[in-house]
Amino acid sequence: MGRMLRGNDQLEAYVDANGARETPAQIRCREETAAMPMAMMQIGADQGAFMALTAKLIGATRYLEIGTFTGYSALSVAQALPVNGAVICLDVSKEFTDRARKYWKEAGVESKIDLRLGPGVDEMDRMIAAKEGPFDFVFIDADKPNYDAYYERALKLVRQGGLIALDNMLWSGAVADPANNDTNTVAIRALNKKIHADDRVDVALTTIGDGVMLARKK
């Protein structure tokens, strides 16, 4: 969700044109979503390209996503996975994910994607109990107050050496403003601090999109 480049349309367009090789389905998904009232929830083309390349670099075959919206991030990674790759998407909105299914089908990756609707924490608990891991790559982009809960469960589901990526960890810069204490900002700020000190993972907080925290499980 969100991009730090927003507000500089010329630069954003340049990055989209030169920083990503989008398929027709990705372009349609991104452009149609951009016209929606909640368009800020969508990641940019550059972040999608970063995630796809990351999946290839770590040799991912299994990808778990918490928070799917209209499907751009899942589409980007699913296209990057090998033929035997598998994606599990957790979301609460049938309305938004019905749109996602359309783009996945257009791209020919719908058979790779298992979409599960319902509260993410509950589904992750069920997955842990059912021993559905390990995953190579986990992406968290959902409700911010539950980010810590998603992170802890992701650590149980990702393999050793696997990667957890958390979106919106700069929250449009609000995390750096000590006077900003709204619920989402407080939750993200606390988790940034926690992950930075967490010796279970190697970390890098990047300025990609609206801030992507990368945590590699040791």
CATH number at residue 36: 3.40.50.150
- Any domain includes 2: no
- Any domain includes 92: yes
User: Residue 80: what pLDDT?
Assistant: 98
The mean pLDDT value for 113-136 works out to 98
- Any domain includes 117: yes
pLDDT tens readout for residues 59-79 = 999 999 999 999 999 999 999
Answer left, alpha or beta for residue 134, where phi above 0 means left and psi between -120 and 50 means alpha.
beta
| Least confident interval from 12-21, 88-97, 101-110, 154-163 | 12-21
Which DSSP letter does residue 44 get? P
Closest C-alpha to 45, from 65, 23, 64, 60: 23
Which is more confidently placed, 18 or 187? Answer: 187
DSSP 114-157: EEEES-HHHHHHHHHHTT---EEEEEE-S-GGGHHHHHHHHHHH
Give the burial class of 206: count Cβ atoms within 10 A of its Cβ; 0-12 exposed, 13-18 middle, 19 or more buried: middle
How many structural domains does the chain have? 1
- Whether pLDDT at 2 is above 50: no
pLDDT tens readout for residues 92-104 = 999 999 999 999 9
- Work out the percent of the chain whose per-residue pLDDT is above 70: 97
Polymer length in residues for the chain:
218
- Any domain includes 153: yes
User: Residue 19: what pLDDT?
Assistant: 83
- Whether pLDDT at 32 is above 60: yes
- Any domain includes 93: yes
DSSP 58-99: TT--EEEEE--TTSHHHHHHHHHS-TT-EEEEEES-HHHHHH
User: Residue 7: what pLDDT?
Assistant: 60
- Any domain includes 1: no
User: Residue 96: what pLDDT?
Assistant: 97
- Any domain includes 200: yes
The mean pLDDT value for 105-117 works out to 98
User: Residue 1: what pLDDT?
Assistant: 46
Residue 28 is part of which domain span? 9-217
- Any domain includes 36: yes
